[in-house]
Structures are given as C-alpha cells and as structure tokens.
C-alpha cells in the first residue's frame, strides 16, 4: 500500500493514472444520473406533504452533501500539503475548489426554489442557509487568494491555511438544524435511520453517487492541467508537448 | 408511472417553475463547467507548447 501510494503520489505517474480513471468516473456519473433521474421522476411517488415540489430533493441534497464533502477533502489535502510539502496535495486542493463552489451554488439555488413554495420565502437568514452561504464565500475567497498571489508556493500555503481555518464551518452547517431553530427540515438520513420513503431515498442516494463520480472526474481533469503547468520543465511533460 | 400525460409531467402539480428551475440551472451549470474544463486543458496545452518553442529559440 505504502509503495503504491508513493508511486502514484509522483505527479508523472498520477497524470497517467488520472487520465485512465476520468472516462470511468465521467461515464459512471452519466449512467447513475440517468438511473437516479428516472427513479426520481417516474418511480418515486408524490410526497403526501409537499406534492411534486419535493422532487427538487434529488439534486438539492446530493449537491449540499458534495459542497460540504469536497470542502473537507480540500482541507485534508491542504493539511497533508502543509505537513509533508507534497506537490500533488496542493494541486488537488486547487483542482477541487471550483467544483465544490459549483455544488454549493447549486444547493443554494435549488434550496431557494424549494423554499419559496414550501416556506413562502426564497431566502431566510437562518443558521443552515447562512452557514452554507459562508461556505460558498469561503470557496470563492480561497480561489481569489490563489489568483491574487503570484508566487505559487506562497499561494499554496496561504490557500491551505484559509481552507483549514474555514473548515470549522462544515460541522456548523451539518449540525445547524439541530443546534438552532430553523425552517429548514432536519437531516433526512441519520445514524439512527431515515425518515424517507425507501424509493425516494434510493433515487437520492443514486444521485449522490452520480454527483460524487462527477466531482471526481472534474477534479481529476483539472489536476491534470495543473500538473502539466507545474511540471512543464520535466522531460515527461516535454514529451507530451511534442507535436 | 406518476403522470397521466406529458403536460401533467411538465406541470409538476403546479410546482413546475420551482422543480424545472432547479433542474435547468443545475444542468446548465454542470455543462458550463465541462466546457470550461475542456477549454482549460486545451488552452494550457497550447500555451505550454508556445512557451516551449520560445524557450528553445
């Protein structure tokens, strides 16, 4: 295991590995999304409380999970990068941020469109929504910081530090529905079980896997570009660049 | 099957605007990211090749 890890942690080998993995994750995401949407729209029944409006859940919850999860993965790579100065770690963090921001935006957007018919408001300043908005601003702030610092190593470190500080926000988002009074409904899935109808849950989980696969494919695509850029003086990249 | 007809499907029990507004924007956002990712890779390759020719001269 350790051998493999070091082997693939080298940008040159990881570039090739990522290139082989991307089509699998991309097609996996597409197939899962088709199955998930089919279940979501044609198999899952109408909700007895929310009618058809609840069908937003099949993107809202997976997107919200991915927004938080990608941030945690970014924080993980930032910590590894700061601790061990591994080149690939910082590139992974940079590659993940835009996709994390995208999913957070989707969760806010779909939340607004779900909130309007259910709560009568597009937006309320409660803990869950506000902390999720802060998550989006964190993503944007970290990306702006990277863009603003010309020195790559300093940018990596500054971004990693901000990512780690911002990580406290993720548990706040997750537990906000328990800690504070809110319009937002509680977690649909808890360690003690779920309150959801089984087929609705199945559709939502399949969509969550689709989002997960998509995020992996997107981040790997982005990290390959970063690797080329940063390793451009090495022989193996020069060989790729040969016409 | 939940729907009596296509118009029934698009209406989403009166919540069409909210449901389809969610799905449409999500779809557009993801397609946009895929386009940007492709462009990013192509542009980087082009730029690095140009830099390389420059350095060789």
Above 60 in pLDDT, residue A2? no
The residues that bridge with B56 in the sheet, in sequence order, are none
CB A145 within 8 A of CB A155: yes
Residues of B in contact with A63 (CB under 8 A): 26
Whether B1 is in a domain gets the answer no
pLDDT of the residue at A1: 45
Whether B11 is in a domain gets the answer no
Whether B42 is in a domain gets the answer yes
Backbone φ and ψ of A119, nearest 5°: -105, -15
Q: Which residue has the higher pLDDT, A141 or A243?
A: A141
Q: Which residues of B touch A (CB under 8 A)?
A: 1-3, 9, 12-15, 17-19, 21-23, 25-26, 29-30, 33-34, 37, 40-41, 44-45, 48-49, 51-52
Print the domain residue range for B52: 17-56
What ipTM score was computed for the predicted complex, to two decimals?
A: 0.92
pLDDT tens track for A86-109: 889 999 999 999 999 999 999 999
Give the pLDDT band of residue B29 (cuts 50, 70, 90): very high
Place of tokens 């729907």: B3
pLDDT tens track for B9-25: 999 999 999 999 999 99
Interface test with A, best of B18, B25, B34 (most A CBs within 10 A): B18
Whether B6 is in a domain gets the answer no
Identity of the residue in B19, B21, B23 whose CB atom sits nearest the CB atom of A52: B19
CB A109 within 8 A of CB A123: no
Above 60 in pLDDT, residue A51? yes
Domain count, chain B: 1
Chain B: nearest CA to A166, how far in angstroms?
24
pLDDT tens track for A151-198: 999 999 999 999 999 999 999 999 888 888 777 887 777 766 777 788
Task: For residue A189, give the H/E element and its range.
Answer: strand A189-190
Question: How much is the average pLDDT of A133-158?
Answer: 97
Residues of B in contact with A221 (CB under 8 A): 37, 41
Backbone φ and ψ of A190, nearest 5°: -125, 165
CB contact under 8 A, B19 and A55: yes
Reported pTM: 0.93
């Amino acid at each position: 295991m350790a051998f493999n890890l070091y082997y693939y942690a080298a940008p040159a080998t990881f570039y090739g590995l990522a290139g082989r993995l991307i089509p699998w994750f991309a097609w996996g995401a597409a197939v899962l999304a088709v199955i998930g949407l089919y279940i979501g729209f044609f198999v899952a029944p109408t909700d007895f409380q929310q009618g058809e409006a609840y069908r937003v859940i099949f993107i809202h919850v997976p997107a919200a999970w991915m927004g938080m999860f990608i941030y945690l993965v970014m924080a993980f790579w930032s910590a590894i990068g700061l601790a061990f100065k591994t080149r690939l770690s910082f590139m992974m963090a940079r590659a993940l941020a835009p996709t994390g921001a995208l999913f957070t935006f989707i969760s806010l957007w779909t939340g607004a469109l779900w909130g309007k018919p259910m709560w009568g408001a597009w937006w309320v300043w409660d803990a869950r929504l506000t902390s999720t908005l802060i998550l989006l601003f964190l993503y944007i702030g970290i990306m702006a910081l990277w863009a603003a610092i010309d020195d790559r190593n300093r940018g990596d470190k500054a971004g990693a530090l901000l990512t780690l500080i911002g990580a406290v926000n993720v548990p706040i988002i997750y537990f906000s529905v328990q800690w504070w009074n809110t319009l937002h409904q509680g977690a649909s899935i808890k360690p003690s079980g779920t309150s959801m109808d089984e087929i609705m849950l199945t559709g939502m989980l399949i969509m969550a896997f689709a989002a997960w696969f998509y995020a992996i494919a997107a981040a790997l695509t982005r990290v390959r570009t970063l690797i080329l850029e940063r390793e451009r003086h090495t022989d193996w990249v020069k060989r790729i660049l040969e016409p | 099957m939940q729907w009596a007809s296509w118009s029934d499907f698009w209406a989403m029990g009166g919540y069409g605007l909210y449901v389809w507004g969610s799905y449409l924007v999500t779809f557009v956002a993801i397609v946009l990211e895929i386009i940007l990712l492709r462009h990013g890779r192509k542009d980087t390759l082009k730029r690095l090749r140009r830099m390389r020719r420059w350095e060789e001269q």
